[in-house]
Amino acid sequence: MEKKLLHFCLNGEEMEVQVDPSASLMDVIRDDLEMTGTKAGCNTGDCGACTVILDGEAVRSCIMPALHVMDRNVETIEGIGSPDNLHPVQEEFVESSAFQCGYCTPGMIMSAKALLDKNPEPTGEDVREAIAGNLCRCTGYKKIEEAFLSAAKKVNSKSS
């Protein structure tokens, strides 16, 4: 089985990688590129731990063929923030302990970022819709929702 060349933009960087044509985007990110921030929770598109952003939209990477993202823009958690410069969502998570085991956290943050990039003034309903596909077993979701809404306020006050 011959590998195919996948060319795409990953976290703002042009990327070329030889992939197994039947590999999922998640497999390529985690195994081939060894970027393990994106998590594997179920491999059937049911939990959202693998959420990445494709051309601005939050998507499931575990059921997306890797080659599907040819010449497109993908963002993963590794491209969001840095220890000295956290994204407002990450800041809020840190400040209010909106996570516990942390396994769903990268997926949650990607879903939140995709929302805030499109809609800087989300309502509670918008936030819920954005993360309805991200399962969490530890937190009961409450602190996560609150962190997102606070982050939105932060984003707004920064830009205003």
Partner 1 sequence: MKEFTVVGKSIPRRDALDKVLGTATYTTDVKLPGMLYAKVLRSPHAHAKVIKIDTSKAKALPGVKAVLCHLDIPKNLFCSSAAAYVTTPPVKGVVDQYIFESTARFIGDEIAAVAATSLAIAEKALALIEVEYEVLPAVFDPFEAMKPESPTLHTEPEKKEGFPEYPENNIVGNKIPPVIGMGDLEVGFKEADYIFENTYIVDAVKQAQLETHGAVADINSEGKLTIYSPSQSLHPTKRIVAEALGLPLSQVRVLNPPYSGGGFGGRIGCSAKSEVITAALAQKARRPVKLILSRQEDFIASDTRHETFATLKTGVKKDGTLTARFIKVIMNGGAYASWSQDAPGVLASTAMPVYRCPNSMFEGWTVYTNRTSAGAMRGFGNPQGMFCVESQMDEIAHALNMDPLEFRLKNISRPGDAVPVPFPLVTTGLRDCITQGAEKIGWSRRVEPDRQKSTKLRGMGMGVGSHVSCSHPFHVDYSTCQLILQQDGSILYSTGVPDIGTGTSTTLPQFVAEVLGVDISMVKIVFGDTQSTPFEVGSHASRTCYAAGKAAIAGAEKIKKEILEYAADYLKLPEDDLDIAKGMVYSLSNDNVKVSLGEIALQAHLKTKQFSCIGTVPPTNALPWEAHFAEVEVDTETGQVEIIQLVAAHDVGKAINPAIVEGQIEGALSMGIGFALTEQYQIDENGRQLYDTYHKYMMPTVMDMPPMETIIVEEHEPSGPFGVRGVGEAGLVPTAPAITNAIFNATGVRVNQIPVTPDRLLTALKNQKGISTVREDEEIYAE
Partner 2 sequence: MKDRDERRACYLTVRKEATGYCLGENISGIRPVNNMINNYLFPESTLEAVEMLKSLNGEGRIIAGGTDLVLDLRKNKFVVSSLVDITKIDSLKNIELTGDKITIGALVTHAQVASSRLIKDKASVLAKAAGSVGCLQIRNVGTLAGNVVSALPAADAAVALIALEAEAEVVGPGGSNFVRVEDLYERLFTSKVDSNSQLITKISFNALLGKQGSAYVRMTLRKALALPILNAAAVVSVSNGTFDWVKIVVAPTNPIPTICKEVGKMLAGAQVNNQTISEAAEYLSNNAVIVEDIRANKEYRKEMIKVITKRALEEAVAAVS
Expressed in percent and rounded to 5, the helix, strand and coil fractions of the chain are 40, 20, 40
58 binds, among partner 2, partner 1, none (CB under 5 to 8 A by kind): partner 2
Report residue 48 CA to chain centroid gap: 9
Minimum CB separation from partner 1 for residue 110, in Å? 9
Whether residue 77 contacts residue 111, with contact meaning beta carbons closer than 8 Å, is answered with: no
Provide the terminal-to-terminal Cα distance of the chain, rounded to the nearest Å: 54
121 binds, among partner 1, partner 2, none (CB under 5 to 8 A by kind): none
39 binds partner 1 (CB under 8 A): yes
Q: What is the secondary structure of 99-130 as a DSSP string?
A: -SS-SSHHHHHHHHHHHHHH-SS--HHHHHHH
Among the candidate windows 9-17, 31-39, 67-75, 151-159, which touches partner 1 by CB under 8 A?
31-39
Map residues 141-160 to x or -, x wherever contact with partner 1 holds by CB under 8 A: xxxxx---------------
65 binds partner 1 (CB under 8 A): no
Minimum CB separation from partner 2 for residue 160, in Å? 25
The two tokens of residue 69 are: 């993202």
58 binds partner 1 (CB under 8 A): no
One residue of 12, 13, 14, 44 binding partner 2 per CB under 8 A: 44
Whether residue 61 contacts residue 106, with contact meaning beta carbons closer than 8 Å, is answered with: no
Q: Helix or strand or coil: residue 4? A: strand
150 binds partner 2 (CB under 8 A): no
Interface ranges with partner 1 (CB under 8 A): 30, 34-44, 46-47, 49, 76-78, 80-83, 86, 89-90, 93-106, 109, 128, 131-145
